[in-house]
Amino acid sequence: MQKAFLILIWIILLIWLPLRTSAQNKLAAQLDSFMQTKVATQHFNGNVLVAKSGKVVYQKAFGYRNYTTKEPLTNNSVFELASISKQFTAVGILLLVEKGKLKLSDTLRKFFPELPYPNITIRHLLTHTSGLPDYMDMLKTWPTNQFASNQDVLAFLIKTKPASFFKPGEKWKYSNAAFVLLASIIEKISGQPFPDYMNKNIFKPLRMQHTSIYNSRHSAGASMANYAYGYVYSERRDRYILPDSLLSYGFVIPRDGIQGDGNVNATTADLLKWDRALKNNSLLSTKTQQQMLSPQVTVDPSSAMYLATKIKSYGYGIGVGTNKYGNYLWHGGNQPGYATNLIQYVEEDITIIVLSNNASNVLEITEGLAGLMIAK
């Protein structure tokens, strides 16, 4: 009887495994056909990874990591993540909260009493409800060949006292300055440089071996293997070039020294490790992780983020939404030369990562890949 049962199981496996493999191969071929179209029609240059329940379904690199030398991208190429970085900064803060070194209700002026912005809490900073002014005004007059720093942003806000957009908690407005100040709070409380703190407490524990706070322009004496340089298209020169030499991108070099709102660099594989860490509460307690990934505030429907993504809610450093494919966790990023997208469809447990180093339309590509994965 037992022998007959084992034979039956073996027969079922012999039939099922080839069928499963065939279905997976067909899906991967569909995803690849879609991406090849985007390369041909929209000149997509970058890396893509699609996973189901943490298992890679499709992973591929398209184009160059260096347009000048024609060195190709590989699956191990490292990209500037731009604003995807904000969720890493959020976890860095929440780790300090769990250790009892911070409270979400702590005010900004508790750490920087010189700042002229009362009643802004860490929670306001995490959810883009602080009303803080943008630091980009500072960069308009900054020497285009010199790096700025978080300390420079802090000094700018203290000295010039630019007006807030609104009272804390009154509205929602996306704020890069908020996450720069969160990174500065991390440094002040931990006593470590922000890159060192993030490496020790997040990147190393998750074995994200190709992830760091890095920028090729300002990381003096450091280099990163397989780094994907970010390019913009020049109509006048009719080719992709680095943005450094263009007057319209005069803020690029100064901004490269500022951390917390951007400057995390990673591969698609490392981002999948990060995605699994959020899914499995690998760094934070279940309670804190749930708070981070739950809708904390409503996104302003007139904001650029809403108009581009239709995302309605924001947690701590991450967007929380629902579309025709289901509930999702999302963040994207844009910086001259880079466009990035990371989304996890919660119930389906599908992860889609699209990183471009020529500022391709990653939102459109992500939606197309989701449609193929969820068969809609």
Q: Which residues are catalytic?
A: 83
Query: Do you know the residue count of the chain?
Result: 376
**Containing H/E element for 62?**
strand 55-62
Do residues 346 and 327 make contact, with C-beta atoms less than 8 angstroms apart?
A: yes
Residues 6+ apart with CB under 8 A from 45: 39, 62, 63, 64, 73, 231, 240, 356, 357, 358, 360
Cα(302)–Cα(161) distance, integer angstroms: 26
Q: Which residues contact 265 (CB under 8 A, 6 or more apart)?
A: 78, 79, 80, 81, 211, 212, 213, 214, 215, 224, 227
The conformational region for residue 40 under phi > 0 = left, psi -120 to 50 = alpha, else beta, is alpha
Tokens, residue 68: 């000048």
Token look-up 């890396």 returns 47
CA distance 174 to 178: 9
What is the 3-state secondary structure of 300-367?
Answer: CCCCHHHHHHCCCEECCCCEEEEECCEEEEEEEEEECCEEEEEEEECCCCEEEEEEECCCCCHHHHHH
Rg from Cα positions in the chain: 22
